[in-house]
Amino acid sequence: MNGILLIHKPSGMTSHDVVNRIRRILHTKKVGHCGTLDPDATGVLVLCIGKATKALQFLMSEEKEYITTLSLGTATDTYDASGTVIESREYDGVENVVEVLQSFVGNQKQIPPIYSAIKVKGKKLYEYARNHEEVKIEPRDIIIHEIELLQQDENEITLRVRCSKGTYIRSLCVDIAKKLGYPGHISKLIRSQSGHFRLEDCSTLEDIEAGHFHMLSIEDAFEHFDKYVIEDENIVIHGKMIKSDIDHQVVIVNKQGKVLAVYGPNGQGYLKSIRGLF
């Protein structure tokens, strides 16, 4: 079984929990996910099955969209509602919310939360946190493409965020809260889109267990990528370079539209193979 499976991840499960559940349902070990979701979060989790796992690195590189609710007045150690409260302040209103939100749009450095799966010196950050060990967390380059205020109800602010991969919405919301003058945490997080895959196209785990799901092909998954058509598949089979002035990654397809590989520029007027996908 090979293809792309779009899952509506439920709250209370890690991304790896979902992977293990799908392995059992589909009776296959070759399952990988395209971008971790926090256990409390719900929404789009893209899984690659079988030979489609070769496409993981390219599907992970796309931007994401989230709907999140920021709760002002209380901070937790995990930056979300499941954590231990570490700071509180009575809420007495905010001003210039839209202006503050827009100040976060663009390229920036972000410090990930200590409760995350990023590895430092071979250990995950949350392992340092649980063992009460100090660790230096390096900031990461991220891009916030858009922030839209969807709703404001007293101390609860609901936002739509479109961002680059690697962005931690928990950290973003805590930083927004600080700029608004409050401790804060996220009370709800939904990934509404991952690349071109949207929440309304996802299946629940219950759907999949009942056999009510549609698996996308690799051709479906790369539908929105730039294509380069070749007549001779041996070029890809033997990993040969292709003379071209194209300056970005492209998907190599045959005349029938079958995806064969991903190629990228070598800086010397040629495209070289990055990953075979056939």
Catalytic residues: 38
The residues with which 70 forms a beta bridge, in sequence order, are: 157, 186
What are the CA-CA distances from residue 84 to residues 24, 78, 276 (Å)? 34, 7, 46
For tokens 């928990």, the residue is 170
Classified as helix, coil or strand, 41 is coil
- Quote the strand ranges of the chain, DSSP E: 3-9, 31-33, 42-49, 64-72, 74-76, 85-88, 106-110, 119-120, 123-124, 140-153, 156-163, 184-194, 197-198, 227-229, 242-243, 250-253, 259-265, 270-276
DSSP state of 215: P
Nearest partner of 45 among 212, 206, 186, 205, judged by Cα = 205
Longest dimension (CA), the chain: 68
**DSSP at 55:** G
Answer for the pair 244, 264: CB distance below 8 angstroms, yes or no: no
Sign of CA dihedral 217, 221, 40, 126: positive
